[in-house]
Amino acid sequence: MNAKIDLPGHAQYPHLFSPLDLGHTQLRNRCIMGSMHTGLEELPDGFERMAAFYAERAAGDVGMIITGGISPNEEGGMAITDEQGNPLASASKLNTQEEAAGHRMVTDAVHEAAPDCKICLQILHMGALAYNEGAVAPSPVRSRIGAFSPAELDEEGIEKQIADHAYCATLAKQSGYDGVEIIGSAGYLLSTFLVEKTNQRTDQWGGSYENRMRFSVEVIRRVREAVGKDFIVIFRIAAMDMLEGGMSWEEIALLAKAVEQAGASMISTHFVWHEAQVPTIATMVPRRAFTGVTKRVRGEVSVPVITSNRINMPDVAEAVLADGDADLVSMARPMLADAELVKKAAEGRTEEINTCIACNQACLDHAFAGKTTSCLVNPRACHETVLNWGPTEQPKNIAVVGAGPAGLAYATVAAERGHAVTLYDAADEIGGQFNLAKQVPGKEEFHETIRYYRAMMTKYQVTMCLGQRVDAQALVDAGFDHVVVATGISPRAPDISGIDHDKVVGYIDAIRGNKPIGEKVAVIGAGGIGFDVTELITHQGKSSALDIELFAKEWGVDFDNHPRGGVTGVEPVVNKADREVWLMQRKDTPVGRGLGKTTGWTKRILLNRRGVNMVNAVEYVRIDDSGLHVLIGGQPKTFEVDTVIICAGQVPERGLYDDLMIKGVSADLIGGAFEAVELDAKTAINQATHLAAAV
């Protein structure tokens, strides 16, 4: 490898910063921004917003950008309609000259921001997963997660799909893209040709594996023919699809070689079909868990191979490359969290990187809900044209009370803008409730957010007053121009007879280990905190988020032998909890339904496997020496537990704000102190950032 060494990070991360020669062109480093659907694609001003979004990442030194998936035709994408059901012009398709002109805005912005940054269009034909009544597939097999039954393609239809891929790539080239990535994984069109479950054809496109591979190979061959030699063509392969009866290792290796032969200039490894039941990007997945699989693919081909999934910091990327697992590292969500990740690494400012904590709360959960993507730790992501700030013209002397996510986000932005900020917290450390969250096994990444804010407090010279519980008079006496109250919440004490009984423990004490927890436990409240506390008290040994082998055992993945799909015939090894736990709620909906769409299922599966009893439609009656007495469906029942942990939500902690109002002090109220119901860190940081941008 031949790294530049004119910046401190170049010497620290020599593999990451070595350029890659592709023959007709060069990548400036080994870091790629992976493809993500941003939701900007469908907005009326989507091209302007995408241009700003991608240009910031290009200016942040990433080597190459892969756009969100764009369909090569109507049937491969989302059918987007207005409220009356009329089809809307959609930027998430590229098969007309008019759409190509829109894409030119994006490529020009990126190349202007950084002439040596490459940008490739991802061609995504969703096949059976298209949210579209006209969905097509090799066979009429509806996916477990698909909205429609796809129509079977006939010979003419197959030719059309291949031709549409080639035409889309031609238009991409005309629009100024440096290449295309074609997605051949995840349960989308190309991958459904590959496996027997979704390809039941008996013609030249089905049956033998050679026939099932034909569609992917033909797409690559025809795309290469259409775009010529000097254009990047990446094939995204399912290197381990996590499906029972999925692809075998031999089939994957054959496909990798065949697409290389057909003209792919790079292969990008993808893990999982969307319908599989193994988490691959959630925060409970260890960093770089899948790069060993990429290494195997790399051994089969001579083109550069890209790896991905849970690589969120430059030291992780450097280690992956140094170990020879891949030629390039793709980071997608980390580029939402910090547009300047690569630049900061190059300049030796790793401490200043705002790390993706893999929560999915503002990215994937938004995408699945049809909302514009953003990022919990960086609300500017995908909002580059609408959320901005610069130096203030009227610097103020501001006190921020509370160093949880809300107070920290406010202090960062206000101090960056030139206000003099003093930050108070009653605790001896910053972080607020994130200091509890980080103790939950599988949530270790929350340490990174606290580390980032610590670096921001130093960088922007915020005056730190930790270990100080301030009151209104002290703030008045200090003579601040403005006070921001970010004092968070108090846990709700539900009105249940016996709530003061010795066996009742609050969630803060349970997490901090301040009080003993018995062998039989009732957890009252099954929201995010109820699930986290249950995880903590049923977990044994090391956190599997920190150990790839443990993670593989827990989820039934065999990385060593790579059976079909990586999972066929592999049983998860479950550490049954030593204690018996009942996790309960009053609602009659399934327990855990309110958790995040893309992560909630992982938590439900894990706790179910550990033997946690989930109970809904509970009416709490009394807590006494014999346990927790409830009514279920009107019938009395006693849970003979020795501990009852209360996770029943929270109420705002706003006494300080009320006192400031009485004294006529200029003040804002933010975060949990403003509104505790459904308040999470995403809302807290977003609200604080908007207010600080305007103060």
Active site positions, annotated: 188
Task: List the x/- string, 518-547, binding to ligand FAD by CB under 6 A.
Answer: ----------xx--x---------------
Residue 307 CB, nearest approach to ligand SF4 (Å): 18
SS3 of 154, please? coil
Among 214, 298, 333, 629, indicate the residue that binds ligand SF4 (CB under 6 A).
Answer: 333
By CB under 6 A, residue 648 contacts ligand NAP: yes
**What is the distance between the alpha carbons of residues 297 and 252, in angstroms, rounded to a whole number?**
8
SS3 of 333, please? helix
| Beta strands at 266-271 and 643-646: parallel, antiparallel or unpaired | unpaired
By CB under 6 A, residue 359 contacts ligand FAD: yes
Q: How many CB atoms lie within 10 A of CB 390?
A: 9
- The tokens for 398 are 């501001």
Q: Which is nearer to ligand NAP, 659 or 680 (CB)?
A: 680
By CB under 6 A, residue 679 contacts ligand FAD: yes
Among 254, 649, 659, 690, indicate the residue that binds ligand NAP (CB under 6 A).
Answer: 649
- Contact of 182 with 172, CB cutoff 8 Å: no
SS3 of 210, please? helix
Terminus-to-terminus CA distance in the chain, angstroms? Answer: 48
| Beta strands at 305-307 and 266-271: parallel, antiparallel or unpaired | parallel
By CB under 6 A, residue 525 contacts ligand NAP: yes
Binding segment toward ligand SF4, per CB under 6 A, in 106-114, 255-263, 352-360, 414-422? 352-360
Which residues, at least 6 apart from 321, have a Cβ–Cβ distance to it below 8 Å?
A: 1, 15, 16, 30, 327, 328, 329
By CB under 6 A, residue 379 contacts ligand FAD: no
Residue 284 CB, nearest approach to ligand SF4 (Å): 12
Residue 461: is it exposed, middle or buried by C-beta count within 10 angstroms (0-12/13-18/19+)? exposed
With tokens 């009514």, the residue in question is 631
> Sign of the CA dihedral 486, 530, 631, 586?
positive
Among 171, 363, 521, 691, indicate the residue that binds ligand SF4 (CB under 6 A).
Answer: 363
DSSP 450: H
SS3 of 28, please? coil
- Contact of 510 with 491, CB cutoff 8 Å: no
Residue 60 CB, nearest approach to ligand FAD (Å): 25
Among 146, 407, 441, 627, indicate the residue that binds ligand FAD (CB under 6 A).
Answer: 407
By CB under 6 A, residue 509 contacts ligand NAP: no
Closest Cα to residue 295, out of 328, 258, 326, 250?
326
With tokens 């121009």, the residue in question is 481
Residue 543 CB, nearest approach to ligand NAP (Å): 15
Contacted entry of ligand FAD, ligand NAP, ligand SF4, none for residue 336, CB cut-off 5 to 8 Å set by kind: ligand SF4
Q: Which is nearer to ligand NAP, 585 or 643 (CB)?
A: 585
By CB under 6 A, residue 487 contacts ligand NAP: no
Among 530, 556, 627, 652, indicate the residue that binds ligand NAP (CB under 6 A).
Answer: 530
By CB under 6 A, residue 363 contacts ligand NAP: no
By CB under 6 A, residue 337 contacts ligand SF4: yes
> Which residues lie across from 237 on neighbouring strands?
184, 269
DSSP E strands, 57-112: 64-70
- Contact of 143 with 128, CB cutoff 8 Å: yes
- Contact of 331 with 352, CB cutoff 8 Å: no
SS3 of 188, please? coil
Q: Which is nearer to ligand SF4, 363 or 489 (CB)?
A: 363
Q: Which is nearer to ligand FAD, 279 or 565 (CB)?
A: 279
Binding segment toward ligand NAP, per CB under 6 A, in 140-148, 155-163, 184-192, 644-652? 644-652
By CB under 6 A, residue 358 contacts ligand SF4: yes
Residues that bind ligand NAP (CB under 6 A): 361, 492, 494, 524-530, 532, 585-587, 596, 647-650, 678-680
Residues that bind ligand SF4 (CB under 6 A): 333, 336-337, 356-363, 375-377
Residues that bind ligand FAD (CB under 6 A): 359, 361, 401-407, 424-427, 432-434, 436-437, 440, 469-470, 486-489, 511, 528-529, 532, 653, 656, 671-673, 679-682, 684
